[in-house]
Copies of this chain bind each other. A is one copy, B any other.
């Protein structure tokens, strides 16, 4: 630790002044745990159980099929989309909530390729989250177009775009592995200049920092709601389509919820207005209820305050663990950092297991990365201080060498 590193008392003073501190009581968290894995699964909002129970026991149990009208079930994908919209800098009618990130990626990639039919290449990073890579493979194989992956450590996006054949660029706004934040405005501009459309995966940025899709001129975006947005495990994902593409975009999972007049039960598909055409079939309303409880809380949060506290916490954590011998995978400049710190250690897996046993929950990603997510609504500065102290202690004492910490579970 450097001389200027805050003490625990100074962290407590930061917590006392924290404008977001009032949100802490809006979450349920297990006793004795510091939860730094909200970048994987967000914590449970205190309002959620009651909202879910009301959906199950009243709307479903008592009102039954009438709730499609009376409880607004049919409109839920749009209503939830309107609540996600301000979090990503979009207009309400540009966002719908439904299906998972993988399916939504498939839809927008096909739609984007169709909007740019003279180009035949999808450009993306080789280290993107696997489902982005695999869905890109699924789309390109089916449509007979090709894929160009570049490794940003060896090649720039500008170089990858140089052949002038890119139809679509697909990137993650924040990298799931390194925690690196990409310059959405600059990359989108560069892609457009080269004649490509842009699809952003916001899974690791929505709810972690302000996102400005409209301002950056983004074409399409997808993202999940179960990480920083606290929508619940596997909660429905969202799809953003810029208004300028609403009349022309065609996605192939053309189910009846995306039809212009679904209750005509017409024989021919006719896409609905707005982002609604990106819907397919019925959505799990029980899961939607959980998500809505959380979004209603998020609408009261100031994303500028979230970002400021997030950067302060990630910086503090990097500082407090600097002397412990980890590699710092996450970029140090604030402008290139999401809300996550990734540290590397050759024995990262058992180190993380030992840390979890002591009540500090992060996660491990092969081959050697420990990930720590900092969620400003329910993690405070003292938590950061204590988590860093615990991590230093685990490494310095070597407790992680106990054989039980090396046993792999199926899911890491």
Contact = CB atoms under 8 A, between A and B. Distances in A.
Interface of A: 28-30, 33, 35, 37, 40-41, 43-44, 48-49, 52-53, 56-57, 59-69, 73-74, 99-103, 106, 110, 126, 129-131, 133-135, 137-139, 141-143, 149, 224, 226, 232-237, 251-259, 262-269, 280-288, 290, 356, 361, 363, 365-366, 409-412
A81 to B, nearest CB: 16
A284 B49 contact: no
B65 A283 contact: no
Given A100-B281, A232-B285, A265-B365, A254 B28 contact: no
A264 B100 contact: no
Nearest to A134: B269
Given A254-B135, A269-B138, A285-B232, A64 B30 contact: yes
Given A69-B411, A281-B131, A361-B64, A286 B52 contact: yes
Given A44-B56, A269-B133, A142 B30 contact: no
A2 to B, nearest CB: 32
Most buried by B among A52, A74, A139: A52
Contact of A410 (B74, B126, B259): B74
A29 B61 CA distance: 6
Given A135-B254, A137-B254, 16 more contacts: A28-B57, A67-B233, A101-B282, A103-B253, A131-B255, A133-B268, A134-B258, A137-B268, A137-B269, A138-B252, A138-B253, A142-B252, A226-B282, A235-B286, A263-B410, A265-B365
Contacts of A67: 233
Contacts of A68: 41, 233, 411
Nearest to A142: B252
Contact of A134 (B142, B255, B411): B255
Contacts of A59: 233
Contacts of A263: 366, 410-412
A141 B252 contact: yes
A69 B66 CA distance: 38
Contacts of A290: 56, 286
A102 B255 contact: yes
A254 B264 CA distance: 33
A287 B133 CA distance: 27
Nearest to A33: B64
5 contacts: A44-B60, A106-B280, A110-B142, A130-B256, A131-B255
A99 B283 CA distance: 9
B101 A262 contact: no
A280 B67 CA distance: 29
